[in-house]
Every structure is written in structure tokens, then in C-alpha cells.
Chain A
Amino acid sequence: MEKRYKILEHPADIGLEAYGASLEEMFVNCALGLINIIAGDVIINNSESLEISISALNIENLLVKWLSEILYLFDAKKFLMSFANIDYLSDTFLRAKLSGEKYNPEKHELKLYVKAATYHKLKIEKRNGIWTCYVYFDV
């Protein structure tokens, strides 16, 4: 896939349109888009890795919780994700291995502080065989 995500803008909002040949790929691309909103195009090394699992009520809830997890890991643990491998995904559960490194103010210039992922206009759909999601963040 050529394009992983597109940043969406509105006066008060910033959001993402993320794509994937599979739901797993779309979830990963959406998380990469979120990291791009936070840290821009800076190179993030794969020096650390961690495993996470998330349960949710449905697939929309799972996507918001997944993005909330990425935000939590950055804000609380200073972990900037560079890549994720989702090895299990259903509508209500996911398990993933994240790679990345600790935020380093000498190296990473942060672009935007994201407070939270929201359900505002949240949509997940399969369009022309491509999984696409729309999600907005409070910044």
C-alpha cells in the first residue's frame, strides 16, 4: 500500500484517515499516523519492545482503546512507537508487539500534544477492498 494514512484537519480538530489491506494493517497505520501527529517525521529507533493486549466492547471501541494505549505509553512511559505487529485481532480483542524507543528531547522534537482519541465521527469501513478508518483526536 502506498499511503498509510492522511491527516484530517478542521478548525478545532485533528484527525486521521488510515488505510490497510487488512484490519491489522489499518490499526497499525492509524497508530503510526498518531505518532506522526505527535512527533512529526522524526526517525524512531526500534531499541525497545513491549507486548500489549486490549479487550473492548466492539471494533470501534477497540480502535479507540488501541490509540489510547499508544497515547498512554507516550505520556506516562515516554515510549514513542516506531512499529507494531498485531498477532491477534478480533472485534473485541487484540494482542500486539510494539517496537520503539524512549522519547529523547535532544533527538525528537514534539509537534503536538494529543490529549485523547475520541469517538467523534469515528468510522471503520471497507472501501474498494481497502480497510479505512476515520478518527479524531482532542489536542
Chain B
Amino acid sequence: MDVKQIDKYRFLIQKSFQKGMLIEGMIYADEELMEAIQRDETIKQVANVATLPGLVGRSLAMPDAHQGYGFAIGGVAAANINDGIVSAGGVGFDINCGVRLMASDFTVDEVKPKLDALLNQMFRDVPCGTGKSGVINLAYNDLDRVLKNGAVWAIENGFGSPEDLEHIEENGKMPSAEPSEVSDRAKERGRDQLGTLGSGNHFAEIQYVVEIYDEESARIFGLRKDQVTILIHSGSRGLGHQVCTDYLDIMQERMPKYGIRVVDKQLACVPIKSTEGQNYLAAMAAAANFAYANRQMIGHWIRQAFEKVMGSGNLKLVYDVPHNIAKFEEHIVENRKMKVLVHRKGATRAFPKHHPEIPKDYYEVGQPVLIPGSMGTCSYVLVGTDRAMKETFGSTCHGAGRAMSRHAAKKNISADELIRQLSQKGIHVKGASKSGLTEEKPEAYKDVSKVVDVVHNAGIALKVAKMVPIGVIKG
């Protein structure tokens, strides 16, 4: 058998699965999710990634994995920095698409009577939807400052407070960012999109904590039962998409110079140490900073909406994580400590307690891992583990994963009917596009609880808390 089930939650893709595989693959799933994974080309894409030069460990896929472009969504691959490659497709088009969680001082019973007013205020204050421009008009030099400084720029310009930075991965700024490596076209796409939620599966949600699984971690993260939380899912908008588009092209053109051949054009890559590789990483970091600034600004406007409607905008930033990114990290591979470039495409960093890169106040428990569900279901806070460090380059899943096409999702239900159904479940929805709304209906996605149970049981992140939504704004 080329695909060998190792235990209840691990499926090994042996090198014999496909010619040219240089390393093995591993898929984290239970039998039910594996069945869904086998319905599309996810396993083939995991195997394709395993053919890229200079990768170490295994080519990984998380339980929410589904077919992507080149790399599967839900994939993790780490490259040796000496002879390994960097792939723009291994990060994806939405660079630093990620999740931010903020915790309020309110209980669900305190917020419910004012929920509609709160959602309306959020919908007014946070620009969302396709083609929607932001309210920030950036001068040319200002955009470069955003790209260089990320959330630090946002805070210096009045969006949030300095203590937020400690609770953002990389402290909200990738220092390796080089705005000059971002094309003018990418900057043009991004300039009026800073501080916008976007559309598709991006949203901002008012939720409350329904269950605590790990009292100690929850207490340290500042989470308690019945507490209202806010979850933001957004990324680097058109700027990030254009950076990926530009560098896919550059990588494709320059690959032959480095003697690299790939089985799928979308896997185009260049050596990390090459000029093109370094330029991409500098541009990717700049786009990541744009996304950090973006979520910081959206978070600020939601705090203001709470201030106006609830009388207090005290929303503590629990954490902010990217799930589309490539980062240099130290890991132990075959008993040797080495520096690698970890590509996470639809996967979340899940560092354990005592790791030097996590916030001081979370040092004794580990990094919060934020897993958004689909609209109208539930979301989770998990915590990173040592096992993730050993097996998955400190990575875990990122969400539910799509299970139904947009066309199929739109069939049999109108937006008004969906809004009515969700409202019956106690979830109020405000969406900029009715068509977009039905495409994101809960049934269009895999069950996030099943995804989270697999990573919990496999030990590559552990459950801390579960939240359910009461209000959603969508693009």
C-alpha cells in the first residue's frame, strides 16, 4: 500500500506513491475526513510537494486539507535553508490571511439585547465586501511604511495600543520586509484596500465562549464561559494576491537557471538563497505586514463600535495568527537542530510552552491557536504542543475546509432564507453581498469540530475553548 494508515489519525504517503518523491508525506485525518480528502487531488498535491528540492522531514497535510493550487490547502512543508527552495505557491495568493481573537468584559446576556445595534455599527465602521474601498487614503510613502512596519504602523497612527503587539505573531511586524520588492501594481491594488475586511470567507464575528476544555490555559488567555469574544478573519487583500501573482511569474521564468523542474507549474520555486528567493521573501514579509496592519485597524474599529454601543471598547487582544505564510524557524530534524523555511498554506503555527517566540504571559501554557469555523457554526481556541514541534514543524490545522462548490452551495437556498435559518439559531448576519452569503453557508464546509478533534487527538494542538457566534458581518 502506498498510503499506509499509521494510527487512528495518521496516514503516511510512502515514496512509492509517486515517482520523484524525495520525502514522505503525512496526512492527519480520521477515516471520515480521509474519505473527504481522497475525493479530490489533495494526496497527489501532498506527493507533488514532496518532489521539490531541499525539503526536510515530511510533506504534511492537516485534517482540513483540500485541493488547492500546486500545494494543497492545509499543507505544511519545510525547506533546508542551505539547499532548499521557497515557493510563492507554498504561501498562496492571500499572504498572511489570518485570524485575530479579542475578548470582551461582557457576558452574552449583556450583549444580546444590543446585538443588532452593535452589528449595524460594526457594519458601518468596518469596510467590507467586493470592490469596497477603505476609508484610509494613503500617500505613496505611507503605504511603504505600512509594508515595513505592519501593526506597529497601525498603532503609531492611533489604531490600538502598544500592548496589542505582544499578542500578535512576530509582534505584528516581519522585520525582513522590503517594500521596494513589492511591485507598483501590487501597491496600486492594496492602496485603498487597507483596513477592509474583504469578501469570500472573510468575516468578523461576535461570539461567546460555550465550553472550556483546559481551565488553566483558558484563564491565562483571558477566556471564561459565557464571555463575548470577537473573531476577525482577513488577509493582505489585493496587495498580497498581486505579490504572489508577480513572483509566481518570476519564479517560473528563473527556475530553469537553477536547474529546477516541477511537476505542476503552480509549484514554481527558486532556491531560498537566490536573489529571486530573497526578493520574494522580502515582498512576502511586506504583504504579511499589510495584513497585520489590516487586522489591527479592523480590530480598532470594532473596539470603537463596542465603545459606542456597549459603553466600553475594552477588547483585549488574545492573539493574532497568520495561516498563509513562510517563516524561518529552528526545528529538530532527524535529531539535528536546523534552521528551516516553513511554508504554511492553510496551516497555523502551534508552538508549545517555553518556546522563545511566544508571548511572555503565555510562556507557561503555549501559543494560542485560533481556528475559525464556517459562518454560523463554532470556532475554537487551541494551544500549541511539543508533539507539534516534533512532528509538524510546530503546525496544526487552520479551519473547516470547503466541502461544497459555490454553485452547489447556492442551490436550494436563498440568502433571505439562510439569514432566517441562522437567525432561528440565534445568529444575526449582515452581509454586503447576498450571493456571497449563500456560498458561505455552514453546510458548504467540513465540520470544524471534527477537524479540531483530529488535531487534538493526534496531539498537534490541544483544545482550550469553544465559541459559538451570535452575530456575523461579511463581505
List residues of chain A with CB under 8 Å of any chain B CB. 7, 9-14, 38, 40, 57, 60-61, 65, 68, 72, 75-78, 103, 105, 108-113, 115-120, 122, 136, 138-139
Contacts and interface: CB of A to CB of B under 8 A. Distances in A.
Nearest to B45: A120
A117 B66 CA distance: 18
Interface in B389-427: 402-408
Contact of A76 (B69, B70, B185, B404): B185
Nearest to A67: B245
A120 B92 CA distance: 13
Given A9-B405, A75-B238, A139-B200, A103 B131 contact: yes
Interface string B241-263: 11011001100110000000000
A113 to B, nearest CB: 4
* Residue among A13, A68, A76 having the largest count of chain B Cβ atoms under 10 Å: A76
Contact of B253 (A57, A118, A136): A57
Interface string B223-247: 0000000000000001001101100
25 contacts: A9-B406, A10-B405, A11-B405, A13-B67, A14-B405, A14-B406, A38-B130, A61-B249, A72-B185, A75-B241, A76-B189, A78-B131, A105-B131, A110-B131, A111-B130, A111-B435, A112-B199, A112-B406, A112-B436, A112-B439, A113-B131, A113-B200, A116-B244, A118-B69, A119-B69
A113 B40 contact: no
B278 interface: no
B252 A113 contact: no
B297 interface: no
B69 A136 contact: yes
Decide if the interface of chain A is mainly helix, strand, loop or mixed: loop
B94 interface: yes
B264 interface: yes
Contacts of A136: 69
B188 interface: yes
Given A76-B188, A116-B244, A11 B404 contact: yes
A120 B245 CA distance: 13
B265 interface: yes
Pick the most buried of B130, B189, B199: most chain A CB atoms within 10 A of its CB.
B130
Given A11-B402, A11-B405, A72-B185, A116 B475 contact: no
B40 A10 contact: yes
B265 A122 contact: yes
Contacts of B245: 68, 116-117
Contacts of A139: 200, 406
A119 B266 contact: yes
B77 interface: no
A12 B265 CA distance: 19
Q: Which of B67, B248, B265, B406 has the most CB of A within 10 A?
A: B406
A57 B188 contact: no
A119 B264 contact: yes
Contacts of A109: 433, 435
Contacts of A77: 188
Contacts of A65: 249
B203 interface: no
A110 B130 contact: yes
Nearest to B191: A76
Contact of B265 (A11, A108, A119): A119
A23 to B, nearest CB: 19
